[in-house]
Amino acid sequence: MLSEDEYRGILETLYLSSNPKIKNEIIKGLQTPLEDTIPEEDIKW
């Protein structure tokens, strides 16, 4: 059995994976070394 949050997470994953451009951007981001990224505390929201 899944919680509603888990189910919604699966749906979001399927949606994002169905778009090749978004999927490739996510994969590219996952392959980026942490030293090549901006620390979260330096980001202005």
Q: Say yes or no to pLDDT of 45 above 90.
A: no
pLDDT tens digit string along 8-28? Answer: 999 999 999 999 999 999 999
Average pLDDT, the chain: 95
Mean pLDDT calculated for residue range 3-7: 98
32: its two tokens:
């980026």
Dist CA 38 CA 24 (whole Å): 20
Do residues 26 and 16 make contact, with C-beta atoms less than 8 angstroms apart? yes
DSSP string, 1-45: ---HHHHHHHHHHHHHHHSHHHHHHHHHHHTS-GGGS--GGG---
